[in-house]
Amino acid sequence: MTRAEIVVDLSAVRHNVAHLRELVSPAEVMVVVKADGYGHGMLEVARAAREAGATWLGVAVMEEALALRAAGDTGPLLCWLAVPGEDYAPALEAEVVVTAYTVEQVEAVAAAARSLGRTAELQLKVDTGLSRGGATAAQWPDVVAAARAAEDAGDVRVGGVWSHLACSDEPDHPANDAQETAFRDALRVAEDAGLRPRWRHLANSAAALLRPSSRFDLVRCGLASYGLSPAPDVRDAAGFGLRPAMTARAELALVKQVPAGSGVSYGHTYVTPTDTAGTTVGLVPVGYGDGVPRAASSRAEVLADGRRTTIAGRVCMDQLVLDLGAGSSARAGDEVLLWGDGSHGEPTAQDWAEACGTISYEIVTRVGGRFVRRHVGAQVGAQVGAQVGARVGGGADA
């Protein structure tokens, strides 16, 4: 028995990665698998991405990187989010490439490398205008000088310089030109100091698709690898040649008749029509405890009983309710598609994002809880990771 499941089509992931590789060549592709693969399953997606030719994988935190290594991944792997006092040694021992934003981080990585008697693979991140992670323009020369000194000492090898765009989903936004100019300036500073990074990367999914000048040596594709549009106001997923990989489905737990004018769910924010003798409501056993946004209340649609219908009233912690109509023939156990690739008439994650006033990144990454994740489309003979069929934990911010 499966009350609710997330079905991830790994063949769609492979299609998307291969498509991105062809599009951005000669630049290479890093597939970002942080936050449990944007809710799709980090280990399985990582394997599919490698199968499709992704040169690099990218994660946020070291625990994610080490989990990939423990699962057998041996390819180039970049990690970029650390806190003061972070222990770099396990990552360096596992040949994870780490990122430094500050002089202190460069020195900490170098010290960890010396303690291990090895040379650490290091990349430097510059803040070109997102005002998030990375060294500011004022800090950058000092970070570069510290990295060059550590490289001269044999403690690190600076293999990459990178940054992140703020407005790449808006191709005409002036920040895109400004950030690319700032990135080129930062590269010149690094090169003037004697650094020779093999990998220069700025483009995320939207820039990889829409801004060829930002591709440099490598692009970092997160959302696009999962088949969702990173710039939905410009083009939908199909318009970018992408195939959504995730379907969220459940079964009706209960179907019953209620009288006309019945209040539904907490607060009675939805009332059944009064122009019929009554209506059929269906109970779907998923809620905000499973990552279904409460903001979907009376807004998002699902596919049930052969048609799209809007959630009736408030999403609860464990369940939500549908008004299936007076003439419904639905029965308990029937399938409900919350979102998918749209091929059966169901909503997409982008549809849910628009209904909830958010982005598709959040819809797919936050879903979890008591959903069971199932992977399909694995290559024949490929071993599937231990998370297949496991219950899904809550997602991290994408």
Q: Distance (Å, rounded) from C-alpha 105 to C-alpha 121?
A: 13
Residue 358: how many CB atoms within 10 A of its CB?
15
Percent helix, strand, coil in the chain (nearest 5)? 35, 25, 45
Identify whether the C-beta of residue 209 lies closer than 8 Å to the C-beta of residue 297: no
Identify whether the C-beta of residue 23 lies closer than 8 Å to the C-beta of residue 52: no
Q: Which residue do the tokens 């690190």 mark?
A: 156
DSSP 223: G
Q: Distance (Å, rounded) from C-alpha 261 to C-alpha 277?
A: 9
Identify whether the C-beta of residue 156 lies closer than 8 Å to the C-beta of residue 118: no
Q: Which residue do the tokens 């071993």 mark?
A: 383
How far apart are the two ends of the chain, measured CA to CA in Å?
31
Q: Which of 88, 226, 266, 361 is catalytic?
A: 266
Residue 34 annotated to the active site: yes
DSSP 326: T
Residue 266 annotated to the active site: yes
Q: Which of 34, 125, 226, 270 is catalytic?
A: 34
Q: Distance (Å, rounded) from C-alpha 302 to C-alpha 351?
A: 10
Residues noted as catalytic: 34, 266
